[in-house]
Amino acid sequence: MRPVAQNIQHAEKTGIIRSYVEQKSGNTVILFAVLLPLLVGSLALVADFGLWRQSAQRLQLFADTAAVAAAHETYLTDDPAELNFIALGMLHENGLDISDATIAVHSPPVSGRYVGEEGVQVIVTQTQEQFFSSIFMGGAIDISREAVAVIVEPGEPLCVLALDEMADGGLEISGTADVGVSQCAVQANSSHANGVDMNGSATLFAACVYSAGGVNNPENISMSLCSAPKTGWRTASDPYRSVDVPAGIASMPCQTQSHGPRNSTILTSGRYCADISSNRTVQLEAGGTFIFDAAVLTLRSANAELIGENITIFFVNGGNIELPNGGLVDLTAKTSGEYFGVLMFGDRETQPTDLNVRLIGQADSRLEGALYFPNQVVTYVGGSSSDSGCTHLIAREVELTGNSSFTNANCAALGVREILGRSGVLLSSS
């Protein structure tokens, strides 16, 4: 038997190895030649697919903005031609060559889950050329994207409304606050990303939560009617924009306080030009109208009480109410007359924007009516017990830092006007 080395030498001499290597090389060349078109085609398809995907995303953005713009127009007109004009204008403004696309605008939508509902459907179709893949596949492809923007009516009326349209935390709930809003919703008109700002371990329960901007920490919010807070919502109108302070305040005589049993303070209806301060009971005349003109009403003690039935309190020229240590507040608004339903009213013309209002009440305090401070930041710390039939808070900004409740349960019977939110636009991809 020949050694292995001799066998190899024999194979080399006879050309066996050379023949084998040449055969394998030839097979590799043939295989590569067969696979090369498939490889090039795959790379071309991948490249074109990336371009098509970018075009589809771009068309989706065009459709979204056009649908939202046209849906907002439905608040102003029911003319389909006008809606079509608005949608086409938005597409053109955003850079789409509308002469190179097929555009369909439907109101109401004609397909998808919103068929027949109030809203606008925009379908944008554009022909996309094939570049690399055209070597293997002829012709072009059509890419179509659609958007549906529907009009959504608000559910329950509002109990808390923050009017400022730019504030960071227009409606802020912070600390360990546990805020309950019964049979009504809350809204911040701020377009800021933190229009509604939930801080710390604060929690909120309401029918719905609306923000013209965004909502920070929405996981701390529970709602009975909405599945999630509504962001990008239309701003709500100031419900008391047509109401003004009484005329002729400057010519009214200045009233003075009197004293009752147990060192209580008694205030009769009228204008007060000097500060009122007490650590006991302050009794407001039933049915009265009270105007604090550059004067401050202060309860100095946690044991103090502020009591008034069927009243309205106005604050002008820097007048204010201060409850630094809390106290029991039991006030109900007028149920008839020019100021029915208004419990506290900050003058929009003379109240400084940097004069904050702090309403600190005991857990069993009762504030029935509307608390209206359109120029000011209101910090509401506790109060408004379950006995309150109607509590509304409307201010430039609202800060809730203690356990408190607001309700719409009996507002109609008490004469408090309903705060209606405005319809909003929700965008759907189908």
Q: Output the pLDDT for position 29.
A: 55
pLDDT in tens, 153-211: 777 899 999 999 999 999 999 988 889 887 899 999 999 999 999 998 999 999 999 99
Is the CB of residue 255 less than 8 Å from the CB of residue 271?
yes
Angle between helices 16-73 and 4-14 (to 10 degrees): 80
Q: Which residue has the tokens 């069927």?
A: 310
Residues counted in the chain: 430
pLDDT in tens, 74-122: 766 666 678 888 999 999 898 888 888 999 999 889 998 888 888 899 9
| Cβ-based neighbours of 379, under 8 Å, separated by 6 or more | 356, 357, 358, 359, 399, 400, 401
Alpha-carbon gap, residue 380 to 357, rounded angstroms? 8
Across residues 284-293, what is the average pLDDT?
A: 98
What is this structure's pTM?
0.75
Q: Which residue has the tokens 């808070």?
A: 393
pLDDT in tens, 261-277: 888 999 999 999 999 99
Residue in 411, 400, 413 with CA at minimum distance from that of residue 209: 400
Is the CB of residue 230 less than 8 Å from the CB of residue 158?
no
Is the CB of residue 194 less than 8 Å from the CB of residue 164?
no
